[in-house]
């Protein structure tokens, strides 16, 4: 049946399968070993009043365990006691979320004592908790202990996968084990991305299979009609096998069909997948991970490709969805200005202001006043508030409240020694840390937090120069969440005064103010606007003196709500509402959130490359628009469509409070706005040649716009717009918007973000990019590529993406090379009675893909670069070729197929025609093997040379690979000639003829003539863009930008850096003012994804406080 | 002050102490490979290059073509188709008659005379050429046993040889298989003016075949002794390595039309000399309408008469010359300046940027 010997056919296939099988098996084995090792790890369990080691796998729910320092938690534990004071312990969660900073957890005060085995065996309690789930950052439950119900929080839960640090040991009770632990619940659904390339490849393979079927059918029909007893020399007697039995031609057809399938199976490139994997693996680990252009020296972060099979998608991205905070901006908040009692303090100018001033022609002196204080988180220049000078201001009491509010109302944890120079703050968001740092600089130094108290070292309060330590009892913390948009703390002064301090967004504070502060309110709002237009993030501060009776009454309700198992968060919000009213406004703060270096120019480059950039942010609409201006996503000459829920009609309905009514009206409004904008946009498209449109939409409207009925309208509108800004969006909405474009427009999308709230959209997009180095690692863990700075996106896309995309030509080349090879065989079939006789020897056939043509393709895929890295950034428009998919269109494939047909005809006919007479002066004739070997030589040589014709840049690796391949063929042929078999001395025979040399010269040149001619004509008449660029720069030597010298670039003087930053600043300032407090990072991603409110927990605070950059010490000389 | 990060102005590893810092940093090491800065030659296929390449090909190819053609023309070749001529006129009408004639035992010698068109210098090769004979058919190609041919002890290796593997009594056929079984058995003898011209049948096979593929101690056995006779019989006292007709026959041809060397004439043949050929017309190609031809040919350095290479070289050379000219003209008439930015697509449609 099979025309090939089994070994030669199965050999390469088995090799490929074996390699991957072996890899899998090895990994499985290792996993098994690891599992075994983990299951057999020992942990101390309380048994009969003492600690006894047992295996992890024998652990049961309810066991009391002891975990020592650096040990891992064997299960999800309820944290009971720790050797540390205050019942805290430190854990490392690197296995869980990749964050390397330590998290501080705190046991319930009631269980602190159960630290010794004797005491612990007395512990009796009942834990009521939710079912096992995969939400890492939430936990709802109660501990019933000594007939009291104590609420449990995530920061009493030690999760499996974490390990204990800086604590001698802890004692805990097992809550969830094995597959019920949170880490295991999370491990269950692993999303994998399938690159569109794979899908296209499948189509190509299908096309090849169809071709295979057609040529097999042609051959089989031919065979059935050919076979005839008249060819007596075939010995078609009685006992002839079915394949050649002329009496049953249907059988002949069927059997020969099978033969041909195996014969022509070389048309399907088995090694293609392996080749592509090798190329992409090297590209990502060697080129992307080690690119010095994408190395960020300040955070010591190189780029990281976490998946290797999306490289080519990087070259085809059309839509970028970007987060704002931490992605476009630095997320390094600095306290910059404030307004206290209507008086503005802080004389500095933001970069945005300075940029604006420079554009209007004013010459700004870039001097720093000697009084300016600058440290991380604090950049304030005004002596009126420093060193107690505020006592001489018109409203010193207000100032005092302002500072106390800053020092008390927060969830920050101090770390390190309690002196102002050495302390560090662990905060939920950089804003919070900045505010506490500001308080410290104003002389209200928060240095210690216990579960019940906050200690503040206050200077100049009683009189100038006097320093007092004051301990404020923290009675309640009303935590921040995105619905409340504010945070309050109820505290008792040492003298018994009860105060509620509150800070929050301007809107929420202003509606809760006591009456009679209209003037102050008006002035403060003006200041807020002024800060806003300077690009600052603002926050209002307020306080309220509490009457003890009122407080006690309220506190009861609050304690009750805290113990609820159901709807706890909602009830807590409602209870908080009762006390957060009649506030007295103190003032507002302004924090600068600077743009990341190079963001505007990167965005400009990317949009020149035809990539549309969408900004998706949780911030307020004004903030979002302001940043959009700053990074040139939008400008004043762009037409803006704003779809906002902040219109009068909507507000009116909202005030009435009927939910159905609100939904109906909102939807109607959104529909109207959308259709109006769409009409206008379409009109713009028709009238102006190059309209620039921006769509701004807020989260509430987006909810309705994503409605199935309005979806298409939204999509059409947003596709017309050059940039889209979505503000006030939840993580889930970010993902939905990404999905809308991904599915609706069928374009390649890329999401970039840095925080947990971006995880959903990073997962959703074709390519997910995480910003590494600053905030937590969650975005990075979910991403496909991680870079340190937004600006590296241009390198990643324009350079690596293009290279990855160019290497797609490997596929068409494979297609061509296998088709050519198989077709020569096919033409031979016509002259061999359709019998399925091989033209080439079995081994040639099998080694063709694996040995003789494999290496050059890999080298090509790796090194193919049509223009150099710097040119691809200089001419971002070249990137569009990727979007047009110009290397992998069906037209392209057809052209290659045509070339394959032509070449195979040349190979077959030229070689056979020239072998028809005696071939050297000895007059001897060549046989089938000789001619086949001759043809094979021509195929190998030509196919390898054809590759060289494709190359735009030929390195010595190309030379080596191609010569190695051709040499390998000749070496193999000689070896075959030495082995007694039907190839014995074949090469000697053919190489003794002149015919060999003449054919060897003629055939490859004739075969390549067509391609060469086409390339010449194409370049002369229809040049591609990259070809023109090549020509423009043809005389320039290779630009070795000297990545080795790159670090010099980051060594600008501060002034130079500032000038550089200013030169990149926007050319327009927005007309929008007011910045928001709301940072999307506040909300736990997992919580909001599932529609659960997860208010800020101390645990959460710590988790996010990953700003702990290690101090870099320079070697001293 | 609790400064935790080093301000960018003073901090990042400077070049002076870079090495010290780099030891612990994740900064990738610079190498031309990872930075994709390997020195590369970047060929640009400018019209000048295209024209030069075409010119070069034509300059090389045309002389080779001319030389090949001359060589081919120097070769004197006499091709004589005899499959019809050698059948009595009464049997020529249809295939069945022809087959019946060829299958009837008896002397089927036919005498013809050929005229030498041009002086032929020795060695003059005598070929037979068959047509429509599928020596490359899969069933046929594999029907042989290389071990058996090479090695007397492997007589029983006949698994591929069906149906000509063994006799009905179970004794093996050597050489087995359809190829050997269908050995060509027409004979040619030549005479000039009644003087016998010797046809040398030594050295007509490739040396490697003779010495390594066919054993010196392997003798034909039970060959052509079955019911059906396929072709020639072999002298069972001569080892296979000396049965050169068989060796030639068993190097199967690539195409259904093929020539095989029959012998060499080592005499001059003068122009217009008449050679009498005595053809032993035994081989049955009539069943499948195959032609049989007798070929007498001299050789040149290139081999036998084969115009294909010469014509191919000349055509390609000429085509390349023509293309070079065409390119030159087009280039002169409608030049495109190299690296003209106006050809860039974003400059071509002003609507874009």
pLDDT at residue A631 greater than cutoff 60: yes
Which is nearest to A775 in space by CA: A527, A1107, A301, A530?
A: A1107
From first CA to last CA, the distance across chain B in angstroms is 50
A979 touches chain B (CB under 8 A): no
pLDDT at residue A1069 greater than cutoff 60: no
Query: Which residue from A831, A918, A1117 is facing B256, i.e. has the nearest CB?
Result: A831
Q: How far is A1110 from chain B (nearest CA, A)?
A: 7
Chain A residue numbers with beta carbons less than 8 Å from the beta carbon of B146 are: 980-982
- Cβ distance of B35 and A927 shorter than 8 Å: no
Confidence label for B174 from pLDDT (cuts 50, 70 and 90): confident
| pLDDT of amino acid B343 | 81
Q: Which of A76, A323, A698, A795 is catalytic?
A: A323
Which is nearest to A44 in space by CA: A159, A169, A155, A143?
A: A169
Query: Which residue from A923, A1038, A1051 is facing B304, i.e. has the nearest CB?
Result: A923
According to DSSP, residue A315 is labeled G
| pLDDT of amino acid A1099 | 35
| pLDDT of amino acid A7 | 60
For residue A171 the two structure tokens come to 């004692």
- Percent pLDDT > 90 in chain B is 30
Query: Which residue from A914, A924, A1021 is facing B306, i.e. has the nearest CB?
Result: A914
Return the SS3 of A1065.
coil
Q: For residue range A357-392, what is the model confidence (pLDDT) as tens digits? A: 655 555 555 555 566 677 777 888 888 888 888 888
Among the residue ranges A441-455, B59-73, B314-328, the one predicted with the least confidence is: A441-455
Q: Is the separation of the CB atoms in A141 and A127 below 8 Å?
A: yes
- Higher-scoring residue by pLDDT: A376, A965: A965
Chain A residue numbers with beta carbons less than 8 Å from the beta carbon of B133 are: 233
- Cβ distance of B308 and A1038 shorter than 8 Å: no
| pLDDT of amino acid B18 | 43
**DSSP letter string over A164-204?**
EES-SEEEEEEEE-GGGSHHHHHHS-------HHHHHHHHH
- Cβ distance of B316 and A832 shorter than 8 Å: no
Confidence label for A448 from pLDDT (cuts 50, 70 and 90): confident
Confidence label for A968 from pLDDT (cuts 50, 70 and 90): very high
| pLDDT of amino acid A1107 | 31
Q: Is the separation of the CB atoms in B292 and B81 below 8 Å?
A: yes
Query: Which residue from B35, B42, B301 is facing A291, i.e. has the nearest CB?
Result: B35
**DSSP letter string over A303-357?**
-EES-STTGGGGGGEEEEEE-STTTTEEEEEEEEEEEETTEEE-----HHHHHHH
Distance separating alpha carbons of residues A1116 and A1113, to the nearest angstrom: 8
Confidence label for B315 from pLDDT (cuts 50, 70 and 90): very high
A287 touches chain B (CB under 8 A): yes
A286 touches chain B (CB under 8 A): yes
Which is nearest to B314 in space by CA: B118, B65, B99?
A: B65
Q: How far is B15 from chain A (nearest CA, A)?
A: 7
Which is nearest to A407 in space by CA: A385, A438, A381?
A: A438
Return the SS3 of A294.
helix
Q: For residue range A97-117, what is the model confidence (pLDDT) as tens digits? A: 545 456 778 888 788 888 888
- Cβ distance of B260 and A925 shorter than 8 Å: yes
Chain A residue numbers with beta carbons less than 8 Å from the beta carbon of B27 are: 292, 295, 297, 300, 302
A1010 touches chain B (CB under 8 A): no
Q: For residue range B13-59, what is the model confidence (pLDDT) as tens digits? A: 334 444 444 456 778 888 888 888 888 888 888 888 899 999 999 99
Distance separating alpha carbons of residues A504 and A1079, to the nearest angstrom: 11
Q: What is the mean pLDDT of residues A126-155?
A: 81
A53 touches chain B (CB under 8 A): no
From first CA to last CA, the distance across chain A in angstroms is 80
- Cβ distance of B257 and A292 shorter than 8 Å: no
- Cβ distance of B353 and A1002 shorter than 8 Å: no
A290 touches chain B (CB under 8 A): yes
Among the residue ranges A435-449, A624-638, A848-862, the one predicted with the least confidence is: A624-638
Which single residue is written with the structure tokens 């075969």? A1007
- Cβ distance of B47 and A1023 shorter than 8 Å: no
Among the residue ranges A746-755, B56-65, B252-261, the one predicted with the least confidence is: A746-755
Q: For residue range B90-149, what is the model confidence (pLDDT) as tens digits? A: 888 888 888 888 888 888 888 999 999 999 988 899 999 999 999 999 889 888 888 888
Confidence label for A1086 from pLDDT (cuts 50, 70 and 90): very low
Distance separating alpha carbons of residues A643 and A726, to the nearest angstrom: 10
pLDDT at residue A747 greater than cutoff 70: yes
Average pLDDT, chain A: 80
| pLDDT of amino acid A1051 | 44
pLDDT at residue B9 greater than cutoff 60: no
pLDDT at residue A1094 greater than cutoff 50: no
Query: Which residue from A875, A955, A1031 is facing B338, i.e. has the nearest CB?
Result: A1031
- Cβ distance of A835 and B138 shorter than 8 Å: yes
Closest alpha carbon within chain B to A1006: B316
| pLDDT of amino acid B322 | 95
| pLDDT of amino acid A628 | 81
Confidence label for A192 from pLDDT (cuts 50, 70 and 90): low
Q: How far is B14 from chain A (nearest CA, A)?
A: 7
- Cβ distance of B1 and A420 shorter than 8 Å: yes
A1002 touches chain B (CB under 8 A): yes
Which is nearest to A845 in space by CA: A976, A964, A950?
A: A976
Closest alpha carbon within chain A to B163: A235
- Cβ distance of A1033 and B339 shorter than 8 Å: yes
| pLDDT of amino acid A102 | 64
pLDDT at residue A1080 greater than cutoff 60: no
Which residues sit opposite A955 in a β-bridge? B40
- Burial of A642 per CB tally in 10 Å (0-12, 13-18, 19+): middle
Query: Which residue from A295, A831, A917 is facing B28, i.e. has the nearest CB?
Result: A295
Chain A residue numbers with beta carbons less than 8 Å from the beta carbon of B53 are: 1012
- Higher-scoring residue by pLDDT: A1043, A276: A276
Chain B residue numbers with beta carbons less than 8 Å from the beta carbon of A926 are: 251, 254
For residue A837 the two structure tokens come to 């006789």
A1036 touches chain B (CB under 8 A): no
Closest alpha carbon within chain B to A920: B303
Query: Which residue from B34, B181, B327 is facing A287, i.e. has the nearest CB?
Result: B34
Rounded to 5°, the CA angle A904-A909-A914 comes to 135
Distance separating alpha carbons of residues B146 and A725, to the nearest angstrom: 78
- Cβ distance of A376 and B57 shorter than 8 Å: no
- Higher-scoring residue by pLDDT: A808, B189: B189
- Higher-scoring residue by pLDDT: A692, A483: A692
- Higher-scoring residue by pLDDT: B342, A885: B342
Among the residue ranges A31-35, A889-893, A907-911, the one predicted with the least confidence is: A31-35
| pLDDT of amino acid B3 | 37
Among the residue ranges A1022-1031, A1077-1086, B51-60, B333-342, the one predicted with the least confidence is: A1077-1086
Chain A residue numbers with beta carbons less than 8 Å from the beta carbon of B163 are: 235, 237, 239-240
- Substitution target in A235, A434, A1110 with the highest count of B β-carbons within 10 Å is A235
Q: For residue range A41-75, what is the model confidence (pLDDT) as tens digits? A: 888 898 888 888 999 888 888 889 999 888 888 88
What torsion, rounded to 10 degrees, do the Cα atoms A330, A332, A337, A339 define? Answer: 100
Is A113 in the active site? Answer: no
- Percent pLDDT > 70 in chain A is 84
Distance separating alpha carbons of residues B178 and B136, to the nearest angstrom: 12
- Cβ distance of A928 and B252 shorter than 8 Å: yes
Distance separating alpha carbons of residues A704 and A669, to the nearest angstrom: 10
- Substitution target in A801, A923, A990, A992 with the highest count of B β-carbons within 10 Å is A923
Chain A residue numbers with beta carbons less than 8 Å from the beta carbon of B330 are: 1020
Query: Which residue from A233, A289, A300 is facing B178, i.e. has the nearest CB?
Result: A233
- Cβ distance of B302 and A290 shorter than 8 Å: no
Cα→Cα distances A958→A953, A962, B49, B326, Å:
9, 6, 21, 32
What torsion, rounded to 10 degrees, do the Cα atoms A143, A147, A148, A153 define? Answer: 0
pLDDT at residue B5 greater than cutoff 70: no
A231 touches chain B (CB under 8 A): yes
pLDDT at residue A1116 greater than cutoff 70: no
According to DSSP, residue A1080 is labeled G
pLDDT at residue A580 greater than cutoff 80: yes
Among the residue ranges A27-31, A296-300, A360-364, A789-793, the one predicted with the least confidence is: A360-364
| pLDDT of amino acid B24 | 65
Q: For residue range A805-856, what is the model confidence (pLDDT) as tens digits? A: 888 888 889 989 999 999 999 999 999 888 888 888 888 888 888 889 989 9
Confidence label for A1071 from pLDDT (cuts 50, 70 and 90): very low
Return the SS3 of A582.
coil
| pLDDT of amino acid B170 | 82
Q: What is the mean pLDDT of residues A162-178?
A: 86
Q: Is the separation of the CB atoms in A796 and A790 below 8 Å?
A: no
Cα→Cα distances A972→A9, A184, A872, A975, Å:
17, 53, 42, 5
| pLDDT of amino acid A1102 | 35
| pLDDT of amino acid A90 | 79
Interface ipTM: 0.91
């Amino acid at each position: 049946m099979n025309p090939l010997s089994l070994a030669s056919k199965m050999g390469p296939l088995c090799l490929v399968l074996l390699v991957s099988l072996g890899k899998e098996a090895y990994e499985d084995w290792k996993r098994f070993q690891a599992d075994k090792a983990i299951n057999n790890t020992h942990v101390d369990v309380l048994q009969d009043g003492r600690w006894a080691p047992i295996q992890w796998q024998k652990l049961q729910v309810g066991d009391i365990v002891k975990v020592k320092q650096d040990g891992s938690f064997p299960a999800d534990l309820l944290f009971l006691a720790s050797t540390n004071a205050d019942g805290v312990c430190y854990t490392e969660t690197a296995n869980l979320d990749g964050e390397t900073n330590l998290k501080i957890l705190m046991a319930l005060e009631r269980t602190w004592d159960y630290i010794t085995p004797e005491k612990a065996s007395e512990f009796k309690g009942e834990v009521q908790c939710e079912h096992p789930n995969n939400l890492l950052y939430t936990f709802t439950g109660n501990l019933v202990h000594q007939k009291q119900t104590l609420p449990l929080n995530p920061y009493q839960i030690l999760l499996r996968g974490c390990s204990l640090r800086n604590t001698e040991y802890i004692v805990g009770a097992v809550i969830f084990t094995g597959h019920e632990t949170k880490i295991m619940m999370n491990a269950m659904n692993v999303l994998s991305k399938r690159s569109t390339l794979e899908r296209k490849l499948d189509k190509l393979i299908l096309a090849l299979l169809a071709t295979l079927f057609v040529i097999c059918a042609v051959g089989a029909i031919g065979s059935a009609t050919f076979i005839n007893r008249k060819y007596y020399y075939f010995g078609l007697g009685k006992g002839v096998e079915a394949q050649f039995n002329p009496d049953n031609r249907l059988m002949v057809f069927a059997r020969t069909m099978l033969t041909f399938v195996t014969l022509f199976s070389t048309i399907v490139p088995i090694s293609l997948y392996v080749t592509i994997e090798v190329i992409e693996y090297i590209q990502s680990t060697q080129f992307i991970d080690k690119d010095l252009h994408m190395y960020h020296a300040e955070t010591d972060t190189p780029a990281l490709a976490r998946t290797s099979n999306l490289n080519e998608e990087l070259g085809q991205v059309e839509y970028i969805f970007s987060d704002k905070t931490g992605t476009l901006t630095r997320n390094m908040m600095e306290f910059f200005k404030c307004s206290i009692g209507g008086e503005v303090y802080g004389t500095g100018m933001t970069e945005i202001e300075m940029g604006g001033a420079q554009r209007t022609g004013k010459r700004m002196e870039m001097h720093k006043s000697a009084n300016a204080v600058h440290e991380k988180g604090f950049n304030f220049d005004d002596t009126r508030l420093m060193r107690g000078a505020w006592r001489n201001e018109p409203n010193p009491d207000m100032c005092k409240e302002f500072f106390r509010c800053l020092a008390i109302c927060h969830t920050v944890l101090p770390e390190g020694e309690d002196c102002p120079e050495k302390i560090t703050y662990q905060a939920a968001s950089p804003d919070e840390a900045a505010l506490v740092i500001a308080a410290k600089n104003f002389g209200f130094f928060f240095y210690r937090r216990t579960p019940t108290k906050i200690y503040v070292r206050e200077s100049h309060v009683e009189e100038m120069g006097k320093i007092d330590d004051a301990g404020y009892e923290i009675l309640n913390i009303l935590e921040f969440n995105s619905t409340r948009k504010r945070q309050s703390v109820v505290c008792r002064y040492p003298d018994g005064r009860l105060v509620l301090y509150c800070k929050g967004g301007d809107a929420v504070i202003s509606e809760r103010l006591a009456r009679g502060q209209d003037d102050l309110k008006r002035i403060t709002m003006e200041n807020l606007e002024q800060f806003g237009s300077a690009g600052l993030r603002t926050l209002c501060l307020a306080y309220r003196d509490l009457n003890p009776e009122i407080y006690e009454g309220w506190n009861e309700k609050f304690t009750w709500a805290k113990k609820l198992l159901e709807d706890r968060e909602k009830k807590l919000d409602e209870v908080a509402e009762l006390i957060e009213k009649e506030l007295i406004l103190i003032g507002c703060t302004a924090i600068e959130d600077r743009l990341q270096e190079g963001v505007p120019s990167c965005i400009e480059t990317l949009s020149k490359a035809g990539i549309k950039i969408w900004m998706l942010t949780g911030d307020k609409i004004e903030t979002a628009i302001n940043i959009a201006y700053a990074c040139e996503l939008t400008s004043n000459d762009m037409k803006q469509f704003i779809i906002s829920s902040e219109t009068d009609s909507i507000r009116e309905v909202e005030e009435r409070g009927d939910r159905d009514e609100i939904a109906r009206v909102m939807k109607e409004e959104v529909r109207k706005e959308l259709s109006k904008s769409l009409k206008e946009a379409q009109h713009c498209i028709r009238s102006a040649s190059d309209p620039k449109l921006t769509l701004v939409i807020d989260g509430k409207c987006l909810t309705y716009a994503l409605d199935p009925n309005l979806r298409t309208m939204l999509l059409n509108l947003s596709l017309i717009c050059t940039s889209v800004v979505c503000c006030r969006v939840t993580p889930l909405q970010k993902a939905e918007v990404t999905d809308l474009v991904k599915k609706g427009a069928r374009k390649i999308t890329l999401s970039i973000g840095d925080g947990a709230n971006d995880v959903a959209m990073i997962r959703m997009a074709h390519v997910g990019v995480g910003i590494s180095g600053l905030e937590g690692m969650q975005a990075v863990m979910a991403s496909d590529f991680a870079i340190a700075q937004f600006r590296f996106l241009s390198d990643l896309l324009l350079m690596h993406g293009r290279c990855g995309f160019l290497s797609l030509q490997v596929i068409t080349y494979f297609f061509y090379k296998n088709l050519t090879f198989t077709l020569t065989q096919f033409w031979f079939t016509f002259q061999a009675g359709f019998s399925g006789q091989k033209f080439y020897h079995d081994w040639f056939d099998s080694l063709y893909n694996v040995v003789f043509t494999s290496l050059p393709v890999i080298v090509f895929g790796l090194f193919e670069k049509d223009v150099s890295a710097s040119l691809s950034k200089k001419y971002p428009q070249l990137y569009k070729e990727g979007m047009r998919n110009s290397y992998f269109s069906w037209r392209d494939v057809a052209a290659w197929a045509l070339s394959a047909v032509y070449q195979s005809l040349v190979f077959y006919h030229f070689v056979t025609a020239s072998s028809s007479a005696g071939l050297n002066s000895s007059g001897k004739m060549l046989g089938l093997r000789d001619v086949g070997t001759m043809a094979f030589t021509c195929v190998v040589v030509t196919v390898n040379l054809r590759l060289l014709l494709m190359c735009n840049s030929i390195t010595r690796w190309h030379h080596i690979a191609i010569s190695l391949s051709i040499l390998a063929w000749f070496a193999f042929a000689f070896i075959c000639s030495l082995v007694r078999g039907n190839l014995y001395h074949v090469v000697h025979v053919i190489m003794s003829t002149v015919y060999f040399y003449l054919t060897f010269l003629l055939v490859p040149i004739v075969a390549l003539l067509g391609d060469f001619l086409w390339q010449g004509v194409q370049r002369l008449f229809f040049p591609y863009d990259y070809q023109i660029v090549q020509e423009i720069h043809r005389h320039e030597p290779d630009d070795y930008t000297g990545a080795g010298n790159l670090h010099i670039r980051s060594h600008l003087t501060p002034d130079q850096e500032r000038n550089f930053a200013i030169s990149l600043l926007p050319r327009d300032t927005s007309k929008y003012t007011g910045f928001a407090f709301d940072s999307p990072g506040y909300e736990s991603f997992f919580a909001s994804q599932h529609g659960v409110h997860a208010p800020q927990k101390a645990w959460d605070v710590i988790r996010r406080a990953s700003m702990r950059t290690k101090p870099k010490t320079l070697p001293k000389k | 002050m609790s400064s935790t990060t080093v301000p960018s102005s003073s901090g990042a590893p400077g070049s002076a102490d870079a090495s010290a810092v780099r030891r612990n940093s994740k900064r990738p090491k610079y190498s031309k490979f990872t930075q994709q800065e390997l020195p590369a030659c970047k060929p640009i296929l400018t019209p000048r290059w295209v024209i030069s390449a075409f010119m070069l090909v034509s300059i090389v190819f045309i002389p080779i073509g001319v030389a090949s053609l001359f060589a081919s023309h120097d070769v004197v070749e006499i091709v004589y188709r005899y499959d019809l001529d050698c059948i009595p006129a009464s049997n020529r009408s249809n295939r069945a008659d022809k087959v019946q004639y060829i299958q009837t035992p008896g002397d089927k010698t036919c005498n013809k005379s050929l005229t030498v068109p041009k002086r032929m210098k020795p060695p003059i090769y005598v070929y037979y050429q068959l047509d429509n004979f599928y020596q490359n058919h899969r069933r046929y190609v594999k029907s042989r046993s290389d071990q058996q041919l090479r090695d007397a002890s492997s007589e029983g290796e006949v698994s591929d040889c069906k149906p000509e593997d063994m006799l009905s009594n179970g004794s093996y056929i050597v050489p087995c298989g359809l190829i050997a079984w269908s050995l060509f058995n027409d004979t040619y003898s030549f005479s000039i003016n009644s003087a016998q011209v010797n046809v040398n049948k030594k050295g007509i096979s490739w040396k490697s075949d003779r010495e390594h593929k066919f054993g010196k101690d392997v003798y034909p056995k039970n060959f052509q002794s079955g019911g059906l006779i396929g072709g020639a019989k072999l002298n069972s006292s001569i080892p296979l390595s000396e049965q050169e007709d068989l060796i030639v026959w068993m190097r199967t041809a690539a195409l259904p039309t093929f020539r095989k060397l029959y012998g060499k004439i080592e005499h001059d043949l003068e122009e217009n000399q008449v050679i009498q050929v005595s053809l032993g017309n035994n081989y049955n190609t009539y069943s499948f309408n195959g032609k049989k031809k007798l070929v007498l040919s001299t050789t040149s350095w290139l081999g036998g008469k084969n115009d294909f290479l010469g014509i191919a070289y000349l055509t390609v050379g000429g085509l390349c010359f023509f293309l070079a000219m065409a390119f030159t003209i087009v280039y002169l008439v409608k030049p495109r300046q190299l690296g003209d930015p106006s050809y860039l697509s974003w400059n071509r449609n002003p609507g874009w940027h």
